[in-house]
Structure 1
Amino acid sequence: MNDPARGIPLPAIDYAYLEETMLQLLAIPSPVGLTDAAVRYTAGRLEVLGIPYEITRRGAIRATLKGQAAQPARAVVAHLDTLGAMVKSLKPNGRLEIVPIGHWSARFAEGGRLTIFTDHGQVRGTCLPLKTSGHAFGGEIDTQPVGWEHVEIRVDLPVDDHAGLEAAGLNVGDWIAFDPQPEIQPDGYINSRYLDDKAAVAALLTACKAVRDHGLPLPVDVHPLLTITEEIGSGASAALHGEIAEMVSLDISIAAPGQNTSEHAATICMQDMSGPFDYHLTHKLIALAKAHGIAHRRDIFRYYRSDSAAAVEAGNDLRTALIGFGADASHAQERTHRDALEALTRLVIAYMTSEPVARRDCRSMGSLDGFTEQLCPGDMAVPATPLPAPESFLGER
C-alpha cells in the first residue's frame, strides 16, 4: 500500500530531454532585462507538453498542472535570468567600461568571450584586465587589482577611440552576455556558466514531462513558475497565484569547503541569508527523498537568497522551501554532475505527486483545527533539575 504522504512510485525520467533542454537554454542569452528569447523558448516547451500557461507583462511564466483539488495549490519555481553586464562608458582607447548585472566577481569575467547587444545588432568582444600582455607590462599583470573598474571590453571592430565606438553603434546601456561555454563529459560532469539556473529550469520541465508522459495523479494543483529577475533579488515577488499555499524554489546549491552539499546529490536547504525555510515543508521534502531513495544532502547557505525570499518579502503568506542541484563555483565557471540533476528532478516529481503539508492551508486564515505541530509536549526534554517555583524568583518578601 502506498503512503499518501509519500505519493506514488516514481517513473524513470527522460534525461535526454533534460540535457537537450538545458543546452538549448544555455545557448539563449538571458541576462536580467534581456530575457524575452528565453521566455519564448520555455513557453514553446510548455506548449509541446500540453501544459497551459500565462505570461506576465514583463515575461514571468505561470503554468498550471491540474490536480484532484484546486487548493491548497503549490508552486515550483526556477529562474530564466542569468548574470551579465552592461556598458557603462565608451572609453577614449576604443574599449568599453562595464558594470555587472547581478552580483558576481570581475575575476570570473576576465578572459570571457561575449556578445554586446546594441540597438541595431550584435558585436562580439572579450573582457580583459586593463593590463593584459606580459610582453608590454611584465609583472604588473600579476599585481593589478581585481574589480569591475579594472577590466574593459575589447570589441572585435577596427576602432581605437570613442568616436569609432559611437560610429559602430555602441552605446552606454547596451546589454552584454558572456558565452556560457558548456561542456558535458562522458562521465556525467557538466561545466558551463549559467547552470544557475538553466539546469534547474531543465529539471523542472523534465519533471513536468514525466507527469504528462505517465499520467501521474496530482493531489492538488501545481503551478510551475519561471521568473526573470531572481539574480537582482525580486524574482518571485510577483506572478504568484493567490491560492498558492506552498512554494518550492529550485536553484543551484553550493559545494565548497565548509558546506554539506555534493555535486552528486540534490540539496535541501534549511536556511539561507533570509532565514530558515518552512519547517514542515522542508521536512516533508527530506522525508520524500528518504522514502524514494533520492540522494540528498541538507545544507545552510550564509551568502545566498532565492525566489522564495522574494516571494515572502513581497507579502505572500505561504510556506517556502529551497532545493537545488549540487554544483561547484557558483556565479563563476560552474560545474555539476548528471547525478545531481537526476536527483533534483526525481525530488520535484515526488513533491508534485505527494499530499500537501496541511489541507487546512487551502484557507489563508482559520482556527487551530488542523494547524501543524512541530514539537509535542511529550517530546520536549525535561530539565534534569526541577525548576524552582515561580515565587522563588521574586526573593524574600
Structure 2
Amino acid sequence: MGYPNVDETLTMIKELVSIPSPSGNTDRVITYVEEFLSSLQVETKRNRKGGLIATLPGKNDTKHRMLTAHVDTLGAMVKEIKPSGRLKLDLIGGYKFNAIEGEYCEIESSNGKTFSGTILMHQTSVHVYKEAGKAERNQDNMEVRLDEKVHNPEDVRALGIEVGDFVSLDPRVQVLSSGFIKSRHLDDKASVGILLQLIQQVKEEGTTLPYTTHFLISNNEEIGYGGNSNITPETIEYLAVDMGAMGDGQQTDEYTVSICVKDSSGPYHYGLRKNLVELAERNDIAYKLDIYPYYGSDASAAIRSGHDIVHGLVGPGIDSSHAYERTHRDSIEETTKLLYHYLESELV
C-alpha cells in the first residue's frame, strides 16, 4: 500500500468544500461521499442522524478501529425577515459575525430553491452611517442582502423564503501553485478528503487492514454530537481526524500533521498519542504536538457519551479556523502519511 496522490486529494477537497452542508442540512454532501464509496464497492450505511459509516473488513474482526472526520460545516439559518426585506441570521456552529462580514451566501428554501445574497452590516455605507466602522458586528447589526427585488417580508415570502431556511457560506476555494489551498470549510472537509483517498488506496491495492476499520463521516460535529454513537462494541481505538488549530502559543503550522494532546475536554489517550508520535518518527513524518484551548472533537464527544474507547485526535494544520481558512499541501501529505501508517499499525 502506498501513499495517495496529494494532488488528487486536493481536487477532492475542492469538490467537497463546494457542496453546501451546514450542520442540519448535509444530505447532499453525504450522498456525494456515499456514491464515491459505492463506486469503490465499500460497504456503507447511514445512521439515523444522517451520518455515513464505511467499513473495511480486517484480518482481526474481534477488535475494531474507528476513524472519523466531519462533513458538516458552519452556516446559519434565517432568524427573521426584517421590514426592509433583508434577513436576520442565527449562526450554526461556533464562530463570530465578524468572520463572515461581506461574504457571499446561499439561502436554500424548504421547497428546494436557492437564492444568492451577501452578508453585510446594516450600517455599511460610510456615506450614510458615521459609525460604520465602530458599530458592533452582531446579530442585530448584520443582515443578508438578497439578490432579488424585495422591499418587505411579503416579497421575501413570495419567493418561498421563511424563518428556519438554511444559509450556506460561499467557500471561495482556491488551490494555488504555491501549494496552498484556501477556502472556508477546510474544517473538516480537508480531513474527509484525506480519509476518502486512503480508503480508495486500500481498495485499489487490495490491502487487508490488520483490524476491521470503520470510517464515520459525521454530520453534526460543529454542534457537538456528530460522532458520539454507532461505535461498535468491538471498537478499541477511536481516532478523530480534524483540523489542527493555529495561533499564538500554538506549535501547529500549515506544513506538518498536528497531534492533539489536550483540548477543552481534557487530555487525549496518552498511549495512543505516544503510538502516533512513534509512527511519525519511525517514518520521517513531520509532526507537531499541540493543545487546542477552545476545541472539542467527535472523539471527545464519544468519550462524553460513555463509550469505553481509546481516543485520539490528529489533523492538518489550518490557519484562521472558523473563518477564511488555509492550509498547505505539505500538511495534507504529512497527515495522510501518518494515517496510512496508523491503519497498518497494531492497537495500543
The two structures have a TM-score, normalised by structure 1, of 0.86
AA aligned to 1:117 is E
Map Cα deviations across residues 37-71 of structure 1 (whole Å, 9 max, x no partner). 01100011111222111111232111111111113
Give the corresponding residue for 1:153: 144
Map Cα deviations across residues 286-329 of structure 1 (whole Å, 9 max, x no partner). 10011111110000011000000111111111000000101100
Give the corresponding residue for 2:13: 22
The answer to whether the aligner puts 1:129 opposite 2:121 as a matched pair is yes
Give the corresponding residue for 2:190: 199
Cα distance in structure 1, aligned partners of 2:239 and 2:162: 40
Map Cα deviations across residues 71-100 of structure 1 (whole Å, 9 max, x no partner). 321001000100000001110011011110
What are the equivalent positions in structure 2 for 1:1-397 lying under 5 Å apart? 11-120=2-111, 121-138=113-130, 140-357=131-348
| Partner secondary structure for residue 142 of structure 1 | coil
Task: After TM superposition, give the deviation of residue 23 of structure 1 in Å.
Answer: 1.2
> What is the aligned residue count?
347
Give the unaligned 5+ runs of structure 1.
Answer: 1-9, 358-397
Cα distance in structure 1, aligned partners of 2:186 and 2:271: 29
Cα distance in structure 2, aligned partners of 1:290 and 1:71: 29
Query: Would you say the 8 A contact 2:57–2:208 is kept in 1?
Result: no
| Partner secondary structure for residue 135 of structure 1 | coil
Task: After TM superposition, give the deviation of residue 172 of structure 1 in Å.
Answer: 0.6
Question: Which structure has the bigger radius of gyration?
Answer: 1
Cα distance in structure 2, aligned partners of 1:39 and 1:209: 17
Task: Quote the sequence identity (%).
Answer: 37
AA aligned to 1:354 is S
| Partner secondary structure for residue 273 of structure 2 | helix
Structure with greater strand share of residues: 2
Task: After TM superposition, give the deviation of residue 244 of structure 1 in Å.
Answer: 0.7
| Partner secondary structure for residue 213 of structure 2 | strand
Q: 327-336 or 166-175: which moved more?
A: 166-175
The two structures have a TM-score, normalised by structure 2, of 0.97
Task: After TM superposition, give the deviation of residue 26 of structure 1 in Å.
Answer: 1.0
Q: 116-125 or 260-269: which moved more?
A: 116-125
Query: Would you say the 8 A contact 1:216–1:353 is kept in 2?
Result: no
Query: Would you say the 8 A contact 1:123–1:155 is kept in 2?
Result: yes
Cα distance in structure 1, aligned partners of 2:342 and 2:152: 57
Cα distance in structure 1, aligned partners of 2:224 and 2:178: 35
Task: After TM superposition, give the deviation of residue 34 of structure 1 in Å.
Answer: 0.6
